[in-house]
Amino acid sequence: MTLTGFLTYALALGVAAAVPGPGVVALVARALSSGFGAAMAFSAGLILGDLTYLAAAIFGLSLIAEAFGAVFAVIRYGAALYLAYLAFRLWRAAGTAVRIAGEARDRPLTSFVAGLTITLGNPKTIVFYLAILPTLVDLRRVTAADVVPLILLTAAILLAVMTPYAALAARARETLRRPAIRVRLNRSAAAIMAGAAVWTVLRRA
């Protein structure tokens, strides 16, 4: 790939990642409910999901992905159900715990898996890598030497976009320490999570 190709890809990915979608919404809710550490584990899952689709595009697996559209539909609905479960758990815990979802804080793997699942079922991610990316970059010219730089560039851009969302939401969470406010915050996070679940099911692009 040429330098122009890398820059074009970086700009397009940065813009696509910055536009709030189900992944960003769920990330903010995770930061509000469980703190910055859980949100960053969630971000790691999001990034791995993106890299999975990047690999699919690079190695010409988009035709296979299209052939197994039903599988991606199942993943999307599974991600929505998981988000709905998290929303239910947060809402239910709001009236009984001052510290929001403390259990989730201690299990980064749970956050990581949630992020990965949501990204794999996110139509916005699928469309970007399997439909938009081939129009921006000539994937036939991507060599083995380009793969590692693309992976690092993708991870760096997504991390740069997701970290401020997580940090701001986590800061808001830590600032609001009064129990009554924390209960409202917990329920707000649950509502955001539920909204992301609905968005994941209904949005196809």
* Predicted pLDDT of residue 188: 65
Asked whether residue 16 is domain-assigned, the answer is no
**Residue range 71-129, pLDDT digits in tens:** 556 666 666 676 677 667 666 655 544 443 344 445 788 889 888 988 887 777 887 88
- Say how many domains are in the chain: 1
pLDDT of 205 > 50? The answer is no
Asked whether residue 153 is domain-assigned, the answer is yes
Q: What is the pTM of this model?
A: 0.68
Closest to 39 measured CA to CA, from 122, 100, 124: 100
* Predicted pLDDT of residue 22: 77
The CA distance from 42 to 25, in Å, is 12
Asked whether residue 197 is domain-assigned, the answer is yes
**Residue range 143-188, pLDDT digits in tens:** 888 889 999 999 999 999 999 989 988 887 766 555 555 566 566 6
Asked whether residue 70 is domain-assigned, the answer is yes
pLDDT of 38 > 60? The answer is yes
The CA distance from 119 to 121, in Å, is 5
Closest to 196 measured CA to CA, from 3, 23, 17: 23
Q: Which two tokens stand for residue 119?
A: 């990204």
Q: Which two tokens stand for residue 23?
A: 């992944």
